[in-house]
Amino acid sequence: MCGFTAILSLNNNPFSISLCKNTGDLINHRGPDDEGYLFFMGEDFQNYKIYGGEDTPESVLQSHIQYCPNRLISLDKNFDCKLAFCHRRLSIIDLSPTGHQPMCYKNRYWIVYNGEIYNYIEIKKELITLGHTFISQSDTEVILAAYDEWGVECQHHFIGMWAFLIFDTKKGILFGSRDRFGIKPLYYWFSEEGFLSFASEIKAFTAVPGWKPILNSQIAYDFLIHGISDHTSETFFRGLFQLRGGEYFQNNIEELHDSLSVKKWYTINREELPDHLEEIQDQYLAKLSDSISIHLRSDVPVGSCLSGGLDSSAIVSLIYKSRQNNSNNQQQQTFSACSDQKQWDETDYINEVLKGKDISPHFIIPDVEGLFDTLKQLLWHQDEPFGSTSIYAQWLVFQSAKANNIKVLLDGQGADEVIGGYHYFHDIHIANLLLKRKIRKLIQESIAIHKLHSRGYLDIMKSSLYFIFCNSRIGKPYLIHYEKEKLTPDWLDVDKLQSNLSLPLLLPESGKEKDLFTRYCYHQTFYTSLPALLHYEDRNSMAHSLESRVPYLDNRFVEYIINLPEKCKIHGAITKYIMRFALKSILPDRVRCRMDKMGFITAEEYWIKVTYQDAFQSSLELAIKNSKGIIKPEAMNYFKKMVSGKIPFSNIVWRIIIFGFWMEMFKVELFERK
């Protein structure tokens, strides 16, 4: 787990090494264990220089390994270069100097890489039989050898999370890849000054000549109105893009001008699976256990997040079971966020999971004073606005792990989207049954939802029809007209923003996939819910120089879940049906059978409406001022109605606050100044 930047001159306009150093310094929190630089001069890519930095260990400088530097970068001895790599390392696997980056293989391929390939041991054995040799115990070298052997097809061999750049000095080809689900970030930007830049975090681009923070109006609208982000390749900054999950590019650098030829390398294969519940139960447990096992590979201590919900509780319990069987001497550690307000507190569930287990738990309680004290730092690390105060709870969990010398945490992120685990999937399920004309089943499920979740039948049908209308030619214009007030609220100046009205749950083209429930699982996994959550998780963990791993996003497990029959995902108004069934002997029933969902949340509603109303009101007033007219004074009326209970509570107030803070922090302009 690391961070990197790269800069390429596109118009034979060489740049100084200080430029690369400056970008790397902005993300040094991602890798405090080692620091490396690679500079190519002129057109001859065999002519290069490598350097270390202040964080480069002495053992690396003294190692005499071909790709390891023996001297520190000196900006006093500056020179021009055409292509530069900077790498900041968080050492997790192979802590020795042979794990240093940028790394070279066969004196031809250079890589900067962020992530973990969990099956690197198995791939390495295969590559050795094919004639490859290795000098390190790292997964990084395995990526290089795999690319040498299989080209871009190497991506299909990897199980893990990654973002990397590989430069082939022989062919002048730059290859960039991002893992299947976008767990690790990779941004790129074409500067008008003639540079193509890459970085693990957006803030690094602020050091590149030509940087102009101009608002992307449509992304801002989608966030403010619908609370979604990271749902396209675009970002909040106009002209700045991200490689999305499952995408790659491979370009000759001499042919690069103003765009990358980005292609999709990963799609989930669809196949029919049997619906024998007993058989599926055993397979589910075996596949999840295998994923957790491979995610525990590490040369440093590993802990776990524990919210008290189904997903993280399953991980903690399965790790404990495996360690009991393997006589692992390292005591398991868990990290949890709780609340002093009972309505938002999961301590009882957490203790239920921990009961009778030799586990060392750690608890934190977010408070609103800490939120505002940390807000600037939190926002700077996130780079873009975030939808609620809940990520502050996650921030504190990672902070606690760092304080307890844990360098890797397993988390339950990604468990809901692929299996339809959120409560609104009840309505998607009903909509799907309606489209399939399974009326008897529809009635049975509606009755179950009514009884188990206390929802009225009219509400169920209205919500279900919404999902159908949202994705039909006739329904879309009707919904836009029907929801005009929600889409153009009086607190938002849509004309000044110059964005298009949009619906939040509009599915992309499905290709051959006709099943509405499965399509929404895809949608949540690749477009709306999960990409934003992974963004928050990556920045929060890396802010504390800590690696977060997500075993529910092992592609083998995801592909298995997505292909399960719908009745295994939701049945009798019970979400994650197969998971609850499979974990009968693993989890206490109180946790396994709970129907509510929280996660690492805060008492945001209580803070805003009761204890710190004045602080949030003052923040809202400041946000309106900083929004350059996008947020109108009417936002105060919305706030007052919400705190008085005249309208339901929502995260809209927080989204406005953080949006205004973000515009001020990053000096964002509405339009480019002439």
Q: Would you list which residues are annotated within the binding site for L-glutamine?
A: 139
Q: Show contacts of 153-159: CB within 8 Å, 24+ apart.
A: 155/248, 155/265, 155/266, 156/265, 156/266, 157/119, 157/123, 158/117, 158/119, 158/123, 159/117, 159/118, 159/119, 159/294, 159/554, 159/555, 159/556
Q: At what angle do helices 439-453 and 425-435 cross, to 10 degrees?
A: 160
Cα 113 from Cα 3, distance rounded (Å): 7
Quick one: 15 exposed, middle or buried, by C-beta within 10 A (0-12, 13-18, 19+)? buried
Please, are residues 353 and 316 in contact by the beta-carbon 8 Å criterion? yes
Rounded-to-integer distance, Cα 524 and Cα 526, Å? 6
Report the C-alpha gap between 422 and 442 in whole angstroms: 19
217: its two tokens: 């109006």
Q: Count other Cβ atoms within 10 Å, centred on residue 637.
A: 12
Q: 450: Cβ–Cβ under 8 A, 6 or more apart, which residues?
A: 456, 457, 460
> Helix 390-403 and helix 368-382: axis angle, to 10°?
90
Query: How many residues in total does the chain contain?
Result: 674
How many Å apart are CA 97 and CA 67, to the nearest integer? Answer: 10
Q: In this structure, what token pair is assigned to residue 431?
A: 């909509």
Q: Tokens 């999961």 identify what position?
A: 346
Binding site per annotation, positions: 139
Give the whole-angstrom CA distance, residue 431 versus residue 182: 29
Contact status, residue 284 vs residue 215, Cβ threshold 8 Å: no
**Rounded distance between C-alpha atoms, residue 254 and residue 171, angstroms:** 10
Q: Residue 619 corresponds to which tokens in the numbers above?
A: 């923040």
